[in-house]
């Protein structure tokens, strides 16, 4: 059997943001297992994780420079860090607005701006963990919805502007995934049941299922895959209007 249909990572260096938890931690593990050198960015340093606040453009620039200093190249950037502060627009402070946009949106622009410099010779891949909220909206998450839509726009721009240099970009439209984010925002209860019920597979995804899509998109053999999105949502967006209308029936806390 041919185990090499998609090519292999061979000395490729991958930077994964939000690497300490959830989808980012799974991505670190799977990129490593697939043969890449994986370096994480997160708020706190840890084994193979640099302390980089990705909403700080200078920190992102310094972090990527350190990776290239250490390993000599940069091939893959998985912009994955994300946070959400739920609430309808009128209840959201400037500070929360800036925090969510900083992590979910600005950070990915900074990664591209600094990262493409290191990819000009050999090409490279940008992956972004967007969300189903990159193509539709979840009730009471206006900043998150905005930021994730913007990430899809950034994906398309990178594909257009750097395709000739062999740089690809793909956004993952992730569905509800069992991570700290979901546990804190939607603990067991009615909203969580609606999230699960919005999928046709009838369950949350595991972080590894998201990370596998990231690895697939980054592999050298996925060479014609750029400028688009991959739905990794257990069928949720196939019937998403139903989810929004059911969520709206639940009394909003704000
Ligand atoms: N869990 C889901 O259901 C779901 C669904 C769709 C999309 N997503 C997206 O997946 C991505 C990963 O989320 P997750 O569910 O694994 O969440 P998570 O909370 O488990 O992990 C997020 C990580 O990002 C890090 N982080 C936060 N702010 C940061 C900053 N300023 N700089 C560096 N790191 C920072 C956190 O420390 C944490 O380790 C996010 O972009 C999220 O929007 C998640």
E strands in 75-114: 76-79
122: CB partners within 8 A, 6+ apart: 73, 75, 166
Q: How far apart are CA 124 and CA 16, in angstroms?
A: 14
214: CB partners within 8 A, 6+ apart: 27, 30, 31, 78, 80, 127, 129, 172
**174 CA: nearest ligand 1 atom:** 6
Q: Is 142 in the pocket of ligand 1 (CB under 6 A)?
A: no
**54 CA: nearest ligand 1 atom:** 32
Q: Is 180 in the pocket of ligand 1 (CB under 6 A)?
A: yes
Q: Where are the domains of the chain?
A: 13-248
Which pLDDT belongs to residue 250?
79
> Which regions in the chain score pLDDT beneath 50?
1
Please report where in the chains the tokens 């931690």 appear, as a residue. 25
**DSSP secondary-structure letter at 65?**
H
Longest Cα pair distance anywhere in the chain, in angstroms? 58
Which pLDDT belongs to residue 2?
57
Q: Is 127 in the pocket of ligand 1 (CB under 6 A)?
A: no
Going from the Cα of 83 to the center of ligand 1, the distance in angstroms, rounded, reads: 6
Instruction: Using most ligand atoms within 8 A of CB, pick from 85, 181, 209 the residue to mutate for ligand 1.
Output: 181
Which pLDDT belongs to residue 202?
94
Positions marked active-site:
144
Answer yes or no: are the C-beta atoms of 155 and 128 closer than 8 Å: yes
Which pLDDT belongs to residue 3?
64
* Cα atoms in the 13 Å half-sphere on the side-chain side of 130: 30
CATH code reported for the domain at 13-248: 3.40.50.720
Which pLDDT belongs to residue 253?
60
Q: Is 24 in the pocket of ligand 1 (CB under 6 A)?
A: yes
Going from the Cα of 95 to the center of ligand 1, the distance in angstroms, rounded, reads: 18
Q: What is the pTM of this model?
A: 0.96
Which of these, 210, 204, 194, 170, lies nearest to 244 by C-alpha position?
A: 194
């Amino acid at each position: 059997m041919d185990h090499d249909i998609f090519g292999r990572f061979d000395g490729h260096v991958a930077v994964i943001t939000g690497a300490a938890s959830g989808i980012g931690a799974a991505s670190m593990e799977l990129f490593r297992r697939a043969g890449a050198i994986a370096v994480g960015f997160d708020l706190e340093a840890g084994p193979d994780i640099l302390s980089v606040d990705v909403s700080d453009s200078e920190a992102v620039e310094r972090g990527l420079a350190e990776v290239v200093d250490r390993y000599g190249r940069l091939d893959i950037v998985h912009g994955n860090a994300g946070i959400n502060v739920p609430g309808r627009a009128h209840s959201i402070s400037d500070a929360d607005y800036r925090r969510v946009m900083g992590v979910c949106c600005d950070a990915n622009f900074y990664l591209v701006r600094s990262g493409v410099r290191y990819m000009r010779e050999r090409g490279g891949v940008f992956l972004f963990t967007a969300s189903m909220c990159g193509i539709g909206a979840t009730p009471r998450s206006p900043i998150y919805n905005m930021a994730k839509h913007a990430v899809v726009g950034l994906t398309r721009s990178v594909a257009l502007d750097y395709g000739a240099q062999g740089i690809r970009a793909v956004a993952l439209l992730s569905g509800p995934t069992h991570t700290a984010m979901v546990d804190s925002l939607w603990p067991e209860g009615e909203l969580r049941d609606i999230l699960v019920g919005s999928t046709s597979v009838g369950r949350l995804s595991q972080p590894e299922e998201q990370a596998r899509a990231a690895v697939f998109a980054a592999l050298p053999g996925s060479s014609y895959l750029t400028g688009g999105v991959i739905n990794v949502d257990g069928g949720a967006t196939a019937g998403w209007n139903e989810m929004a209308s059911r969520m709206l029936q639940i009394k909003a806390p704000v």
